[in-house]
Amino acid sequence: MNSGSLKSRLFIGLIMAGIAFFSYYSKMQVNAITGKSQAVTMTPQQEVTTGLQSAPQMAAEFGGLYTGKKEQDLVKTVGMKIITNSDAAKSEYQFDFHLLADPETINSFALPGGQIFITLGLLKRLKTEDQLAGVLGHEIGHVIGRHSAQQMAKDELTSGLMGAAVAATSDPYNSNNSGAIAQYVGKMITMKYGRSDELEADKFGVKYMLESGYNPEEMIQVMEVLKEALGGADRPSEFQSTHPDPDHRIIEIKRALEQYKKTGKLEW
């Protein structure tokens, strides 16, 4: 292998990585609710537009909206109660809550800008309104935390670093090696951020339950439902998942509750 060629590739890789980091940190904004500085790629209005445009397609993937008015009204009522009684009402987002018809999938998710969904499969496993508030509060937290816009910026950073890794490590005699390294870098970055966002959304869920008069201890029962849905002891290890293990999430929820009891607030 030519040492000059290796140095040249490493130099190019470093330049590309530097550009990727510069681009990422140039997107930094302060979140008006949390006070945290974060890199985001969209304005709040762009997030709203993206969520509204994506909502019909996302609903279709889960069998469309559930037609039962009682259940749909419950989801919307609980969701809007949380919004009305929390700092989410001060945001620029347009919140709406939807019950999906899928009776088997155990899931809930939030699109950028405030479109929030829960499947019938998950709703049927919840035993109290407080547990439903925990699920919806968590998803509201993803919106307020701007996790989708933040993830887009991180994905751009990941792509830039993967490109830098390929440029720096490409070997004409072993082309598979550089691709494997790049994929590993990308996977580790993305998995780390996914777990961090989920834990922050859990803390938002606790906060919003407290502000709306719901019992935040019921968030722990929601984690038990998710743990059962994931297969109990047979579920993948936390390191292999984009989401924190439910047992880990329970520990963090209890920690947040203890913090609130001592100080009357939650720190971000």
User: What's the pTM?
Assistant: 0.76
Residue 232 falls inside a structural domain: yes
Express each pLDDT in 15-62 by its tens digit.
766 765 555 566 678 887 778 888 788 889 999 999 999 999 999 999
Q: Give the C-alpha distances (Å, rounded to integers) separating 122 from 82, 136, 163, 177, 226.
A: 19, 12, 40, 42, 9
Tally of domains in the chain: 1
Domain that holds residue 86: 3-263
Residue 91 falls inside a structural domain: yes
Percent of the chain with pLDDT strictly greater than 90? 53
Express each pLDDT in 16-26 by its tens digit.
667 655 555 66
Tokens of 123: 């709703």
Cα–Cα dist 194/209, whole Å: 23
**Model pLDDT, residue 64:** 97
pLDDT surpassing 80 at residue 71: yes
Nearest to 140 by CA among 97, 192, 107, 193: 97
**Model pLDDT, residue 151:** 81
Express each pLDDT in 211-235 by its tens digit.
999 999 999 999 999 988 877 544 4
**Model pLDDT, residue 265:** 80
**Model pLDDT, residue 100:** 98
Residue 268 falls inside a structural domain: no
Name every residue whose Cβ is closer than 8 Å to that of residue 63 and which is 6 or more positions away in sequence.
100, 101, 102
Pairing type for strands 96-100 and 115-119 reads parallel
Q: Give the C-alpha distances (Å, rounded to integers) separating 201 from 17, 214, 252.
A: 30, 17, 11
pLDDT band, residue 130 (cuts 50/70/90): very high
Residue 170 contacts residue 183 (beta carbons within 8 Å): no
DSSP helix/strand/coil, 116: strand
**Model pLDDT, residue 236:** 42
Q: Provide the mean pLDDT of the chain.
A: 81
Q: Give the C-alpha distances (Å, rounded to integers) separating 3 from 68, 142, 173.
A: 69, 48, 14
**Model pLDDT, residue 201:** 94
**Model pLDDT, residue 99:** 98
**Model pLDDT, residue 180:** 46
pLDDT surpassing 50 at residue 241: no
**Model pLDDT, residue 154:** 73
Residue 30 falls inside a structural domain: yes
Residue 192 falls inside a structural domain: yes
Return the C-alpha torsion angle 33, 36, 39, 45, nearest 10.
Answer: 10
**Model pLDDT, residue 164:** 57
